[in-house]
Structure 1
Amino acid sequence: MRKSLMIASTLALSLGAASAQTGTTTPTTPTAPATTPATTTAAPAQVVTFSDVPAGHWAKDAVDIITQRGLIQGFPDGTFRGNENLTRYQAALIFYRLLQTGALSSGNLSQTDLATITRGMQEVSTELAAISSRVTDLERLSAEQQARIAALEERINALGTGAAGADVTALTARIDALEAAVRNIPAGPQGPAGPAGPAGPAADTTALEARIAALEQRINAAPATGTTTTGTVTTEPAPSTVVIGDTTPQANGVTRGNLYAGVSVGASAAPAGQPCYVPRAGGRPVNYCASFGGMIGSTQLIGPFGARVSADYKPGQNAVSADVNATYQINTGSNIQPYVGAGLGLTSSASRSSTTTNVTDTYVNGLVGVDFQITNSIAAFVEGNGRYYLSNKGTGALSSSTTTTDRGFAPAVKAGLKFYF
């Protein structure tokens, strides 16, 4: 009986019957009550069975009563939908049917029904008052938030141009988002799930208030060094880019790797009385000897100092030379990169005293050259070599003397390509 009491009472107050839906169905036009003596009781209407209100449901009796009274018809699919909210239109339709049938004035409601409704109103009055108070609080909170947003909009509109006005677009977008969040605040809690069920959860405005407070704090922040101030509102300029690590300006030249390998073609003076011959030219003698060589090295082995190993072959003298050099690269910030170097080397060639044996001469090497960077990985180079031979035992050493004990310079030039990686 208590379940029927709760449902019937809350329906009469437009907040019950588990918020049953009636607005989506077209109400039938109620017929005028038959003219009968006041003591005549109308025959009860046929009970409609709803698929979602099974036998034994705690609100079954109340649903049957209001259905018999013609106050609620349910949905076309045969459901009652007792867990949905009741709109003001649906409540108006219930009262309209109640007044049209004359149930209150004609006495169709028995004394027992009236007493039941009265007791139900008294039992739910406390819950209805609590719900009304919470709805009032939500409306007040929404009004306060709207006032705060309006104040923020006024401050934003007062911002000037320049650095202060540059942030207006972002602030306006944030205000629009806050307004959307305010509009999405729930209208109020749901009714109790059962005869003594708790009210629905209140709207959670904590996150919204935190965002508004952060926006106010940003606008009211004190101006820092270099900020632009307009009235009482300050806006901070965008932070400059923070660079972590080496901040040394980089050269605009082509970037290349430290390691390289190269090939070269060179020429040196021919020994006196021993000319070299140009290949495929009928054996024509010339006063220089060509050489072909290769090298590997690094431009930055220790700081700006590098090292390289090179070797070359002179076909005209059948001489092989190899040397190791320390190099220093001069960074000009362009595609042209000069370098210098010094080192030691050996030359193996035919002995001056016996053409059937080979001897080795040592030399101190000095070089100066320049790289022209074509791409990140390819460079052309031209280089001058000055070899100071410490001995002259072989024909591949000094070209200006045949005395084995002489010492002296043997200049040469070479050009070629280096491949960086």
Structure 2
Amino acid sequence: MRKSLTLASTLALALGAASAQTDTTTTPTTTTAAPAQVVTFTDVPAGHWAKDAVDLLVQRGLIQGYPDGTFRGNQNITRYEAALIFFRLLQSGSLSNSTLSQSDLATITAGMQEVATELAAISTRVTDLERLNAEQQARIAALEERINALGTAGTAGADTAALTARIDALETAIRNIPAGPQGPAGPAGPAGPAGAAADTAALEARIAALEARAAQPDTTTGGTTTIVTPPTTVVIGETPTDTTNGVTRGNLYAGVSVGASTAGDAPCYIPNADGRAVNYCASFGGMVGTTSLIGPFGARVSADYKPGRNAISADVNATIGLNTGTNIQPYAGVGLGLTSSTARPTTATPNPTSNATDTYVNALVGVDFQVTNSIAAFVEGNGRYYLSNNGTGAVQGSDNVEDRGFVPAVRAGLKFYF
């Protein structure tokens, strides 16, 4: 019922305005301003049955259409739009010059009273938006002053470019706050009905975050703001640095080591100790490697010499390091290797003088203790599973060249990072 009354009131206004415009015999026409230019709506073509009425209402300033250039004649009129039409009708003075009947005027009066609450709500929303916009502008101006002060104070490490860019984005967002159709012309005319409600809560939260960052004290330089640059992405092939508990080490390293392995049934002899036999075989070795070849995975090449067996071994291992956040960094690895040593006696060659080569699968686990940025002490255990037994440096405790076996060992030493 209320919508019907609103539609009837709007129709009566249109008829009354048309009568005041066309009936020049009964009502004198007083021109106070140049007539408004008639807007051609894309959905009201020439020859449309309502085009003359629509053009007259637009010319009198009662209807302005939508921003996309359409009239939308089949769309229901809202109470806000009806209130705006009533207001423009009062501002234009068309009611005082119309030839409406008493029943028409009563209908118009009832319609205006019915939408009076909506008209007041429109005014309140416009006032709130203007107040909010002024507050946001004031806060942004304060942030700009603070940033300018930071720039002139010469605070070390302050990157104001990032803050300026973010504030520019906030200003753009505020300028893009949606608004409703344009209100009536004139200095006293209120703005049109508001469009979609602006999401001001998000803007306020972002500005508050900027203010908090700007007010955060700088504990290293004594300034007021410290801009933290986000870390860059590590790319495969890049040489990152490993920071553990304040110690920064390089990606590449070289190391030296001493070790011992089981001797089996055939004892080893300690050099320079009158040939004293012992049940272990000492070794001396070196290595080169990287801690990060692909992400946390690295690679290592190592070699060692066992004087008691006259054996030289070399292996290649893939490693992985575990970052514990301390100076102690464990690691593990697997790989393949070769051992060259004196050939084992056989029935055909009881006293061999040549060397034989044996292959093995290697596994290792160890830990680094970072002493300085470039030096670390390490200890590790490794096990070699020999796939052949052609030389005396391979499987211990067996002279059968067909045997396979496991040989455990330990080693310790120093690594130099660079």
TM-score, with normalisation over the residues of structure 1?
Answer: 0.43
- Rg larger in structure: 1
